[in-house]
Structure 1
Amino acid sequence: MSVRLPTWIAERKLSLASLREVRQVMSAGGLHTVCDEARCPNRSECFSRRTATFLIMGDTCTRNCRYCSIAHGKPLPLDPEEPRRLAQAARELGLRHVVVTSVDRDDLPDGGASHFARVIAALRELEPPVTVEVLTPDFRGLLSAVDTVIAAGPDVYNHNVETVPRLYPQVRRQGRYQWALAVLARVAEKAPKMVRKSGIMVGLGETKEEVQQVLRDLRAVNCQVVTVGQYLQPTGKQVPVARYWHPQEFDEIAEYGASLGLEVIAGPFVRSSYHAEEAFLNVRKGEKKPVVLR
């Protein structure tokens, strides 16, 4: 049985003009955005601000998480020209803060970590300089792969826990909660000056107490920024929404995270890279405050 859409969700609108403009640049470079592939509700707002999250290593994932609309199956070989084209697109769009994520590539020995490193290197050649945020897979717990990405020197290292541990077998069967925590702990250990970030979706059947425990777990591995947003079923093929969190509940979870010393960005439409530059700058300035976005 589907859950009725509340007004604060149903009133969200997309700007088709801004979607078309960024899509033209991406298409010309043979590139993908996770914004479109995952049907993000913020994509027109972000595109209008010349912000986009690049999806590297193809548009086919080796995993099949039940909340995600990205295609799964056998991906194509890596494109060695992708780093150069991505940097060129970032220049054309006038980006200041570039976010790079990927599909899971469990078919590759290092999970694609070396390709992440090549993309970061290409972005570092841009003038004027840009800040770089990566949102990586868990690399199936392979910490040497995490080390490869760290060595490339992104400004922000993000890895999402996605949901509470109890729900992993239902919605993230090929992932492990401990792998996610291990990635973040490794970044804190090897690169303590690098901003560490994670994110969680709510509305999959978790309790508020479970989300609070996740925040405590993230704080324990020295994570600094956490995004908390409402899960929205992308298509009828994905797991349905169990419950829509009220905006007031996002306020409360943001305040709770702040009490732990986390920079928490919370709201119904918050996603991993939403207002990513703002969160990065807040941490760099030493500010830790709840940010609630409606």
Structure 2
Amino acid sequence: MKDINYKNKIIFSNTYKKILRKPKWITSKFPIDDKKIKIIKKIIKSNNLHSVCEEALCPNIYECFNKKTLTFMILGNICTRKCSFCAVLKGRPKEIDVNEPKKIAKVANIINLKHVVITSVNRDDLKDGGVNHFLKCIKEIKKNNLNTTIEILVPDFKKCINYAIEKISTCPPDIFNHNIESVPRLYKYVRKGANYKNSLYLLKKIKEKNPYLLTKSGFMVGLGEKYSEIINVIKDLKKNFVDMITIGQYLQPSLNHFPVKKYFTIKEFNKLETLAKKIGFKNIFCGPLVRSSYHSRLQINKIFKKKYN
């Protein structure tokens, strides 16, 4: 498998020119109330904030915005990595908005979010990988939104894993999420710059440091992985103390991104979910359009025994 990087675009060899047609069971839900969606987009834009829903071209954006749920993306909207599956902009990041944590807490109040999810681009240019900014966001939300649960979806903190673990542990969220993304064999093609073992180490050590903290991870299928490799990833996550997992279908954002090699059927997703339940995860969310923070409020219902409207 060969590919060429050219001006942040990934041009794949002739082997991958064939485009698989999207099956009928993969359909995004269109907005029920377009007014709600426009309001949320306006609130985000007016506060100079970013959502991964928009930046990563999430297929569930209309459904989630209609239900007043979203995932904030902090530390800007430009990533320092060039993962071939991701639609987020790549390049040289801008300066950090020091007022971002306060603005996120304010917007969470305005929208009346009961569960806040915060993620970020990779910031390999920062010595702390951006962990202190995550920490400020957690503290601001806890200070201003007492009844709100917090989930952070973090990068791998490549240069400072142990430092990041120590920092987050001073004021942990309710859920610590770090996506494993794919099977280790495919990392060099879809997740360059990342390390499978380092990601597992991050998940394991944060749990050891904070035994009552819920840990979560997710990955995509349809990138060319073998079924046995998928099973091994699920088992690896369990061995490293992950409580919750999400498994979803990879959808190619554009012709310049890594191609879809297979569309998994509903039956195949159900099979993976059954297996994960037997292995012993507290919560499994598995399906074609499942993303790491899709229905994240519902994912924690059984664990926190809360009802979210």
What is the match of residue 79 of structure 1? 97
One-letter amino acid of the structure 1 residue matched with residue 23 of structure 2: P
What is residue 93 of structure 1 aligned with on the other side? 111
Residues 1:275 and 2:295 aligned together:
yes
Which contiguous aligned blocks of 4+ residues in structure 1 show a shift greater than 4 angstroms? none
Higher deviation after alignment, 125-134 or 14-23: 14-23
256, 265, 276: which one aligns with 1:257? 276
- CA contact under 8 A between 1:197 and 1:223: conserved in structure 2? yes
- Displacement of 1:197 in angstroms is 0.1
Q: 1:12 aligns with which of 21, 24, 28?
A: 28
User: For 1:67 and 1:238, how far apart are their aligned partners in 2?
Assistant: 6
Match of 2:194, SS?
coil
| Cα distance, 1:13 vs structure 2 | 3.6
Report the equivalent of 1:30. 48
User: Are positions 1:61 and 2:79 aligned together?
Assistant: yes
Are 1:188 and 2:207 an aligned pair? yes
In the TM superposition, what is the alpha-carbon distance from 1:25 to its structure 2 partner? 0.7
SS in 2 for 1:25: helix
2:3 is matched with: none
SS in 1 for 2:170: helix
Deviation at 1:17, TM superposition (A): 4.1
Report the 3-state secondary structure (helix = DSSP H, G, I; strand = E; otherwise coil) of the residue aligned with 2:44. helix
Question: Matched residue of 1:36: which SS?
Answer: helix
The corresponding residue for 2:286 is 266
User: What is the root-mean-square deviation in Å for CA atoms of aligned residues?
Assistant: 1.2
SS in 2 for 1:196: strand
1:248 alignment counterpart? 267
Query: Gaps spanning 5+ residues in structure 2: where?
Result: 1-17
Query: 147-156 or 160-169: which moved more?
Result: 147-156
SS, match of residue 95 in structure 1: coil
2:138 maps to 1:120:
yes
* Among 188, 206, 216, the residue aligned to 2:235: 216
Shift of the 3–145 alpha-carbon distance from structure 1 to 2, 3 Å rule, reads: same
1:153 aligns with 2:169: no
Deviates more, 1:225-234 or 1:134-143: 134-143
Q: Deviations over 1:91-149 (max 9, x none)?
A: 11110000000000000001000000000011001245211000000001622112212
Supply the distance in 1 between the matched residues of 2:115 and 2:100 (Cα, whole angstroms). 18
Change (3 A) 1:266 1:76: same
| Unaligned stretches of 5+ residues in structure 1 | 286-294
Deviations 1:39-96 (A, max 9, x none): 1111111111111000000000000100001001110111110001111111111100
Shift of residue 275 of structure 1? Answer: 1.7
Q: Tell me, yes or no, if the aligned pair for 2:29 and 2:63 is still in contact at 8 Å.
A: no
Task: Give the superposition deviation at 1:237.
Answer: 1.7
Give the Cα–Cα distance (whole angstroms) in 2 for the partners of residues 53 and 127 of structure 1: 16
Larger radius of gyration: 2
Deviation at 1:209, TM superposition (A): 1.4
Distance in 1 (CA, whole Å) between partners of 2:207 and 2:249 is: 27
Other-structure match for 1:290: none
Matched pairs, number: 284
- Partner SS, residue 132 of structure 1: strand
